[in-house]
Chain A
Amino acid sequence: VKRWLPVLVLLAVLAVALGVGAAREARPSGTSARVTRIAKDVRCPTCEGLSANESDAPASVAIRDQIRAKVEAGYSNGQIRAYLVDRYGQDILLKPSATGVSALVWALPVAGLTAALAGLVLVFRRWRRARSQVAPADAEAGPSTRRSSTSCSTRWPTSTPSGRRATWPTTTTPPCAPTTPPAPRPPSPVSTKTFWRTTGFW
């Protein structure tokens, strides 16, 4: 229990923070609070990098006044945002809306991350499978059948039985040529190209 205590405390803090945040967002608020909240998401039409809530430019003041009028007239936050987009265009919002083509701004990073994770899982599985196939083959082959090229070259006759010096290359099979097929090579550190090949993208 002592070992897990810090984790439990962290989880409890996280749950409380999320709860408080959610309750705060959902809490019904007054007209001014709603005007502020909506104006924070609206771009000041005449200034750079400021919201209509922060700016005192005439255009921002007019937007705040109009938001207030709409709130008092019973419009919802979404309806007020839609009204502003209708009059100024989509770029009046500081945060892109989560509908239509603008939703891609939110969806694409999530989709990209998911695809990347799925790709990694696929690659790791393939590697694991390849390694498990290599290991038994190595065990069956044993070290005696695998001859190094060095040992062959040392045993390669420097002259033919007729006394003539052998020249390289030759079609004669060297006496030390392995009779068993060479075992598959174990997986080496993977290059970028190999990575994309194994994921099927190449």
Chain B
Amino acid sequence: VKRPALWIASSIGVVVALFIGVLATRDAAANRVAPSPLVGRPAPDITGPGLDGAEFRLSSMQGKFVLVNFFATWCVPCVKEHPEMVRFAQGHAAVGDAAIVSVVYDDERADVRRFFAQRGGDWPVVEASGAKVDWGVRGVPESFLVAPDGTVLTRIVGGVTASGLEQLLAQAKGGGR
């Protein structure tokens, strides 16, 4: 083989390019369940003004499964998971067995209002600065599934999908929650 160094360098370059291509094009991991000290314990209450200005309390939603979702409009995975959450909320609106609450994470009220106006979603959106630490949130998006009795069931990091949420909900219902 003539010029072996050129061949070796070219081979390595092709492998690296393929690797980068795979990483750049693959879907981000969704519905990743992560441990949390809160799982199995009563959910910390969330109180604060909603987008409509009315005071919101998470404890008022007891009796149904609640997905507490921490999000920001500047967070790309949050934008990506939003249509999935809309689909999940619509699927359970008639039955009323599950609902979503979004908690604003380091964002402006006007941006959040515009975000929901453009992308849909009619569930409560709360501004509660202390909730991030109360729930041990490390980054966005991060979600917690809360049982009808107010117990934290699951922590999900890095975005959700409607099918993933349905699966978690089915597991929770199967577990007697």
Partner-B contacts on A (CB < 8 A): 45-46, 58-59, 61-63, 65-66, 69, 84-89
Contacts and interface: CB of A to CB of B under 8 A. Distances in A.
30 contacts: A45-B138, A46-B138, A46-B139, A58-B105, A58-B132, A59-B132, A59-B137, A59-B138, A59-B139, A62-B129, A62-B132, A62-B137, A63-B133, A65-B129, A65-B133, A66-B133, A66-B134, A69-B130, A84-B133, A85-B37, A87-B44, A87-B133, A87-B135, A87-B136, A88-B37, A88-B136, A89-B35, A89-B36, A89-B37, A89-B136
A87 B152 CA distance: 12
Nearest to A69: B130
B72 to A, nearest CB: 8
Nearest to B105: A58
B64 to A, nearest CB: 24
B106 interface: yes
Top 4 nearest A-B pairs (CB, nearest first) are A87-B136, A45-B138, A66-B133, A58-B106
Given A58-B106, A59-B137, A66 B38 contact: no
Contacts of A45: 138-139
A66 B136 contact: no
Contacts of B130: 65-66, 69
B38 A87 contact: yes
Contacts of A59: 132, 137-139
Contact of A87 (B106, B129, B134, B139): B134
A46 B137 CA distance: 10
Contacts of B135: 87
Contacts of A66: 130, 132-134
Interface string B118-150: 000000000001101111111100000000000
Contacts of B44: 87
Most buried by B among A65, A84, A85, A87: A87
